[in-house]
Amino acid sequence: MHRRNLNSFMEYLKKYYIKYKKQILPLIFLSLSFFLIFRVILPQISAISESNQLISSKTSQIDTLQKTLSVVSSQNDSLTEEQLGTATKALPGIKDIVIIFEALTSAAGASRTELREFSLKVGGVYGRAAKVTGFVKGVPSISVTTRISGDPLGLIRFSKEAQERLPLAEVKTVDTNKDTGTFEIDFFYKPYDITAIAKSDKVSPLTQADLNLLSQLKEWDK
């Protein structure tokens, strides 16, 4: 009974196949084509595209490293060390009270005035302070109030000397009374982000503007 039913079913399929043969073969071919496109060809194309992007990224990194190596190799070590020393003296990496005192003493000596006293207003922690004082945005400073004694011309010279020597400083206010002047001065500093420097693989040569600035700072290194 089951065998007879199977034979009948096979005969039905045979007749169905013969009747729709011309439609079935193209349908099978079309199905196989879609399978090959979506399961084989498209994934391969995607993989090739990702590989090309990776190759392009690595090529760009290699080009950057080669340029960096060329810049570093062409530098004069002693000149670079001198320029770095000037830059770090202009903007110390920490709040250094000794450097500030030396700058005030030097400015007083150059202007023939006398440093009587000074006090510090340290302010907030760098990166967390609500406001950062100074003429350069993002550069923190230490506010110093100092009393200087001397004649009027000497007090004027002190103000000029304090702003034209390292570390960088800005005279905010001056209050004079006969032979004494009270100066509020901002001394700037710049903490170094060693992590960011270590992650950077691009080194660009100094521009002419950079060299001019270093030259000016060197003149103020008194």
pLDDT, averaged across the chain: 79
Q: Which residue has the higher pLDDT, 152 or 196?
A: 152
Per-residue pLDDT of 30-55, as tens digits, reads 777 777 677 777 777 777 777 778 77
pLDDT at 126: 37
CA separation for the pair 185, 169 (Å, rounded)? 7
Q: Do 6 and 100 fall into the same domain? A: no
Q: How many CB atoms lie within 10 A of CB 46?
A: 10
* pLDDT beyond 50 at 177: yes
pLDDT at 151: 93
Per the domain annotation, does 113 fall within a domain? yes
Q: Do 103 and 200 fall into the same domain? A: yes
Domain, as residue range, for 179: 84-219
Amino acid at position 119, single letter? S
Q: Which residue has the higher pLDDT, 219 or 51?
A: 219
Q: Do 64 and 88 fall into the same domain? A: no
Calculate the CA dihedral of residues 188, 102, 79, 61 and round it to 10 degrees: -30
Q: Do 164 and 114 fall into the same domain? A: yes
Residue that has been written with the tokens 């110093």 in this structure: 144
Least confident piece of the model among 21-25, 76-80, 87-91, 169-173: 21-25
Per-residue pLDDT of 84-133, as tens digits, reads 889 999 999 888 889 999 999 999 999 999 999 988 875 543 333 333 34
Q: Sorting pLDDT into bands at 50, 70 and 90, what band is 5? A: low
pLDDT at 130: 33
Domain edge (last residue) among 21, 46, 74? 74
* pLDDT beyond 80 at 25: no
Q: Sorting pLDDT into bands at 50, 70 and 90, what band is 16? A: low
Q: Do 100 and 139 fall into the same domain? A: yes
Per the domain annotation, does 79 fall within a domain? no
Count of structural domains within the chain: 2
- Count how many Cα atoms sit within 13 Å of the Cα of residue 24 in the half-sphere of its side chain: 9
Q: Are 189 and 141 in contact (CB under 8 A)?
A: yes
Amino acid at position 129, single letter? A
Per the domain annotation, does 58 fall within a domain? yes
pLDDT at 79: 86
pLDDT at 169: 94
Q: Do 175 and 213 fall into the same domain? A: yes
DSSP line for 99-165: HHHHHHHHHHHHTT-EEEEEEEE--SPTTT-S---SSSTT--EEEEEEEEES-HHHHHHHHHHHHSS
DSSP line for 77-92: HHHHHHHHHHHHHHS-
CATH of the domain at 200: 3.30.70.60
Q: Do 214 and 114 fall into the same domain? A: yes
